[in-house]
Amino acid sequence: KTIRSHTNQSSFSRSYHRSYAMSSKERQRQECVERAKDLKGKRKAIILHGNGTGDMTDGNWYPSVRDELEAAGIPVLLTTYPDSLKARENIWIPFTINELGADEETILIGHSSGSACAMRILENYKVLGVVLVSAYYTDLGDSLERRSGYFNRPFDWDKMKSNAKWIIQFHSKDDHLVPVTEARHVHENLGTEYHEVDDCGHFQQEDMPEILQAIQSKI
């Protein structure tokens, strides 16, 4: 009985903490949406994170780039997107446009799945500029990517180019998730300002000061 009680209590505790974590993400997201209302029509950046299940406000280089841009006077909207694992187009694009208020004064910073979302947004909406990190244009033979919706039709490169004043792109030759040939194809078709490095993998490090430097060179 003691062992059984301990097991049940542990299960309850894990369930409780999972529920708390989920509600924390929801509160965080709502706070970000409220801040977006205050930034409507103002210059800002939105970080579109890669897909995953964790707290994206504390993942990879996202918080450090947010802090650097904020210190430089550029407000940043960073939150864990709804449907964060599957990153589906029919959820992410409406959230970016309708809830976070992406507009002609917005800089989109997309990483991995977030770069695919940013590129599809560019087909139909004007923004100030775009930063693509580990971008790709196919589903990479991955079923989750295939179901996201971004890759079920060709990209309209010309429309994308006409809807941003500038597009900057970063990729690493040793990216273990996105082959460099994918990034080079994006670059060739979008005419991006392309930065290719040798040893940054999928850009999952804690810092990426190159983003601030690249943006500051454009505004």
- Judge whether 175 counts as a catalytic residue: yes
Q: Is 35 in contact with 77 (CB distance < 8 Å)? A: yes
Inform me whether the pLDDT recorded for 28 exceeds 50: yes
pLDDT 10s digits, 76-104:
999 999 999 999 999 999 999 999 999 99
Per-residue model confidence as pLDDT tens digits over 169-201: 999 999 999 999 999 999 999 999 999 999 999
Looking at residue 2, its pLDDT comes to 30
The structure tokens listed for 158 are 């010309």
pLDDT mean over 62-72:
97
Give the chain's mean pLDDT: 91
User: Among 49, 171, 187, 202, which one carries the catalytic annotation?
Assistant: 202
- Is the pLDDT assigned to residue 4 strictly greater than 70? no
pLDDT confidence band for 6 (50 / 70 / 90) = very low
The dihedral over CA atoms of 66, 67, 71, 76, expressed in degrees to the nearest 10, equals 30
With 60 as the cut, is the pLDDT of residue 14 above it?
Answer: no
Query: Which residue out of 113, 134, 148, 175 is catalytically annotated?
Result: 175
Average pLDDT over every residue of 120-124: 98
Q: Does 19 or 91 have the greater pLDDT score? A: 91
pLDDT of residue 22: 52
Residue 196: which residues within 8 A CB-CB, separation 6 or more? 170, 171, 172, 173, 180, 183, 184
Distances (CA, A) of 167 to 82, 95, 101: 26, 22, 19
pTM, two decimal places: 0.89
Q: Kind and range of the H or E element at 48?
A: strand 44-48
In this predicted model, what pLDDT tens digit does every residue of 124-133 receive, in sequence order? 999 999 999 9
Percentage of the chain exceeding pLDDT 90: 87
Residue 107: predicted pLDDT: 98
**Is a pLDDT exceeding 80 seen at residue 205?**
yes
pLDDT score, position 53: 85
**pLDDT at residue 142 greater than cutoff 60:** yes
Q: Which residue has the higher pLDDT, 2 or 217?
A: 217
Active site residue 202: yes
Q: Which of 84, 112, 115, 148 is catalytic?
A: 112
